[in-house]
Structure 1
């Protein structure tokens, strides 16, 4: 299973905090290779899960700030070339879905 598939599975299971760590290696690698658009696209997904983890912990202000970063970068997924791109796009849609579910639970 690829990292993005693992990420999706963890988000589906609402394991938001550990899910964000799954993509960090690739995010750091893209930054190191100066592939900033790809890095920011992954940063968006990472921040999406971090935001949801914060919300679940009752840290709504932190959630709002970090979710804004997800919103800022999520469109980069449409622009960059990524292996298994369909999975990255599915992860983005899943984050929007989970955001709606999680924030309406309280």
Structure 2
């Protein structure tokens, strides 16, 4: 598995507002990363993305109260993107920026 290819696919799914498939893709990556001691810390970034993507889908479904709770989990881990020393940092920042763009443009 090439994580950069997986993250690019995740980005493209998000761009297309395909939140369910993006969520599933990100959750699969998170599961792989959380079970490896070398990538465990980085798995929390993926966990943040899983929750941010769930937030976007919940807003789309007009489930606002639950969405607000999920957004807080994203915010809890989001700071790791800046703090972590990872070869994937550029991709993480692109995904983070896209999540905020989607959040700003979503109709509530």
Shorter chain as normaliser: what TM range?
A: 0.7 to 0.9
Aligned equivalents of 1:55, 1:97: Cα separation in 2: 14
How many angstroms does 1:93 deviate by?
A: 0.8
**TM value normalised by structure 2:** 0.86
Aligned equivalents of 2:88, 2:44: Cα separation in 1: 17
Q: Is residue 63 of structure 1 aligned with residue 67 of structure 2?
A: yes
Unpaired runs of at least 5, structure 1: none
Equivalent position of 2:103 in the other structure:
99
Q: CA RMSD in A?
A: 1.5
Q: What's the CA shift string for 1:7-65, capped at 9, x where partnerless? A: 11111111111101112222112221244321111100111111100010010011101
Aligned equivalents of 1:26, 1:19: Cα separation in 2: 11
Aligned equivalents of 2:41, 2:18: Cα separation in 1: 26
Q: Is residue 21 of structure 1 aligned with residue 15 of structure 2?
A: no
Match of 1:48 among 46, 49, 52: 52
**Aligned residue-pair number:** 104
3-state SS in 2 of match to 1:83: coil
Match of 2:34 among 22, 31, 42: 31
**Greater displacement, 15-24 / 31-40:** 31-40
3-state SS in 1 of match to 2:29: helix
Aligned equivalents of 1:45, 1:58: Cα separation in 2: 20
